[in-house]
Chain A
Amino acid sequence: MTEVIQVSDLEQGYGKTVVLKDINLTVNSGEILALIGPSGAGKTTLVSTIMGMLKPMKGQVTVLDTPMPNRQLLAKIGFMAQTDALYESLTANENLMFFGSMQGISRKALKEKIPYAANIVNLVPDLKKYVKDYSGGMKRRLSLAIALVSDPEILILDEPTVGIDPELRQQIWNELHKLANAGRTILLTTHVMEDAEEADDVMMIRNGAAIAQGTPKQLITEYGVKSSETVFLAAGRQQDAHTNND
């Protein structure tokens, strides 16, 4: 197993505000890492930094042995943003074509890959519809299909399961496991425990700091609780107690 994403001693923020501190994480090829934490914890900032949209204030981010930020490397990352960034006056198919060719895939290859990506998110019958006529959940699924369409080595998904029904969620997870088994590396953020439990590794973030890290099972035994939900609460209480002592 090779290290695909490596973050060491990362400190990140905007101007003088520090959003993230002392973040260390490693994702190996074929692994799924879930970043879990309440909103405002700094998950999206961490994702942006790994993508190279932001330069690290301190520390280092390496993706596929390349220090980030690096523009060319973005071709190997399939990204799904937290907000659905879609062209509403275009059809789903046109959106997939556009972002696919921006990713550097030829039109010919895209014609084969679009049905595959759309199939994973159950959007095949709706490909010809305009995005403005899509429901919130459909837009979310289309965003995921855009991340998948270039068949990238690395998938970075920011809140992929928001607004997606349980049945489809299960289907998406099956597909993500399949991709991971085929050697793809997946990093996703969520604030739902069910998603975290599907991942190989979980990193809990709260107030910009990593408060717990490990496989879901490890964490449950470590904190001596029954579910991962309570792990999060326990770890949070510990962090509060710690900061109060400072």
Chain B
Amino acid sequence: MRILTMIKRILTEMLRDKRTLALMFIAPLFILSLLYFLFQSNTDQTAALGVRNVDTTLVKAVNNNHVKIHQISSDKSAETIIRDHDYAGVLSQNGDHLTLTLQNSDQSKTAILKQSLQKGQIELKSKAARTAIKTQAKALKKMQAALAAVTRQMGRAGNGKQVAQPAAGKQLKAAPSYTVTTHYLYGSSNSTYFNTLLPILIGFVVFFFVFLISGIALLRERTTGTLNRLLATPIKRGEVIMGYLSGYGIFALIQTLLVVLFTIYVFNIQILGNIWNIFLINILLAVVALTLGLLISTFASSEFQMVQFIPIVVIPQIFFSGIIPVNQMADWLQPVAKIMPLYYGSQSMSDVIQKGATIGDIAPSLGILLIFVVVFLVLNMLSMRHYRQV
């Protein structure tokens, strides 16, 4: 009964606070859209490459959609040329020796140039190899004919040999020309980094906004004294926590649904797993954020201090959420990820969206998130003791 009254009060308060409502529902969508557009432009990035005295065959091999070739005739140093023209790199040839000078202020451009140069070299080498093979094949054919003549003369010694020889000939012809068809388990050839990032981002955005708003809302109760006044009534401490949890939980739920539906329908994201698992993960993540927000607000004495907790509580979670692959981190750093709720949320989000994980696959992560909820709830109950000891 008391919990219901508390929920009703929180709903009334929130619905009258238009700015907070707008922040809660529009800001996450805004941030996700912004990121979406930021990562879109990344796919057709080109790097400018200056070339000097380089063999035209190599230049042709290096050239592709992502490289813009500029011929250089001046004999200024590569550094000066890069600075003057803002090239990503300069390639110069001296006899058999190639020198690649890179600006390296944008690592993605550096990677494009390195890759293109490597690819070009391989292409040239394989071309050379192909011509060599052709001449060899001609020689082999001659030998085969001679060999066949010899076998015929030897009479019908064995069938096996005769079968084996034409097969070897076929193999030789088929070897040089592979055709590659690529199948993508997730996404398509148009996939960008955003597709990898999105499952993590959904979890993060839900976590961050729920944390912020629930934390500040309870803080307001503490600073205005209404929490104290509330505890001067026979309400149980658990009822107070459950009231907040359900009241703000309703908004967190709406927000989560909104974010997930928005990403699915507006960004047209492909989901291999079950969409209900995605809702489940995010709702659980929102509850973790809610209980953590309530708890952290205990340690803040003003909204200003609450905001200062963001760099400590929220930002490290982004680092360990999978934006930087956790299994590539230093060994001693990897366990740190395991104490971050967002790590479990993001991992299972990626698994469901990109690998089609089932509820059974993500159950361990969900279990750990539940443990976080329980731990934070207990700590919240204890912190309420500060206000009333029974």
Q: Which residues of A contact B (CB under 8 A)?
A: 51-55, 69-75, 77, 79, 81, 83-90, 94, 98-99, 101-104
Contacts and interface: CB of A to CB of B under 8 A. Distances in A.
A104 B13 contact: no
A81 B1 CA distance: 24
Given A53-B388, A54-B389, A101 B1 contact: yes
Contact of B390 (A52, A86, A89): A52
A74 B12 contact: no
B256 to A, nearest CB: 24
B224 interface: yes
Contact of B232 (A81, A84, A94): A81
Nearest to A73: B234
B9 A75 contact: no
A54 B386 CA distance: 9
B228 A81 contact: yes
Contacts of A88: 224
A69 B17 CA distance: 36
A74 B389 contact: no
B215 to A, nearest CB: 18
A85 B226 contact: yes
B5 A102 contact: yes
Given A89-B13, A89-B16, A103 B233 contact: yes
Closest 3 CB pairs of A and B: A85-B229, A85-B225, A102-B233
B229 A75 contact: no
Given A54-B389, A101-B2, 5 more contacts: A74-B232, A94-B12, A101-B1, A101-B5, A102-B230
Interface of B: 1-2, 5, 9, 12-13, 16-17, 224-226, 228-236, 387-390
A87 B13 contact: yes
B9 A87 contact: yes
B226 A86 contact: yes
Given A90-B13, A104-B234, A55 B389 contact: yes
A69 B225 contact: no
A52 B228 contact: no
A178 B233 CA distance: 24
B4 to A, nearest CB: 9
B232 A83 contact: no
Contact of B226 (A51, A75, A87): A87
Contacts of A98: 5, 9
Contacts of B9: 87, 90, 94, 98
14 contacts: A53-B228, A53-B389, A72-B234, A77-B232, A81-B225, A81-B228, A83-B225, A85-B225, A85-B226, A85-B229, A89-B13, A99-B230, A102-B235, A104-B234
A53 B389 CA distance: 6
> Considering residues B9, B228, B233, B388, which has the most beta carbons from chain A within 10 angstroms of its beta carbon?
B233
A9 B182 CA distance: 85
A25 B220 CA distance: 36
Contacts of A54: 389
A90 B231 CA distance: 19
